[in-house]
């Protein structure tokens, strides 16, 4: 089932291992995310409502959807699912 999103996709791999980063990107593409929308970033302040934040929590990718952003800068996310890599 393809992952639905409306904007950016931030991948926070939490590792410098290029093999894991490449596998994570490939899994996201296999699940319907366009490769050109994937950005390596840990800065949740740059996310907007509708964006995805994907973190690597071994052995899974945890996908979170941004559903609210407060004026104070707090970004609220809800877990949308997990993908094994």
- Domain assignment present for residue 16? The answer is yes
The string of pLDDT tens digits covering residues 9-45 is 999 999 889 999 999 999 999 999 999 999 999 999 9
Closest CA to 37 of 19, 56, 18, 50: 50
Burial class (CB in 10 A: 0-12, 13-18, 19+), 25: buried
Among residues 60, 15, 56, 6, the alpha carbon closest in space to that of 34 is found at 6
The answer to whether residue 2 is domain-embedded is: no
Which residue blocks in 1-85 are alpha helix, DSSP H? 18-30
Q: What is the pLDDT of residues 38-73, one digit of tens each?
A: 999 999 999 999 999 999 999 999 999 999 999 998
What is the extent of the structural domain holding 53?
A: 9-84
pLDDT at 30: 96
Instruction: Give the model's pLDDT for residue 1.
Output: 64
Distance separating alpha carbons of residues 80 and 82, to the nearest angstrom:
7
Total domains, the chain: 1
Read off the pTM. Answer: 0.92
The larger pLDDT score, comparing residue 30 to residue 1, is at 30
Q: Is residue 68 part of a domain?
A: yes
């Amino acid at each position: 089932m393809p992952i639905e999103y409306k904007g950016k996709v931030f991948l926070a791999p939490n590792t410098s291992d290029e093999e894991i980063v490449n596998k994570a990107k490939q899994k996201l593409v296999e699940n319907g995310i366009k490769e050109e929308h994937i950005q390596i970033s840990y800065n949740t302040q740059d996310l907007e409502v509708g964006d995805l934040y994907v973190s690597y929590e071994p052995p899974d990718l945890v996908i979170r959807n941004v559903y609210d952003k407060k004026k104070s800068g707090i970004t609220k996310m809800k877990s949308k699912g997990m993908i094994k890599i």
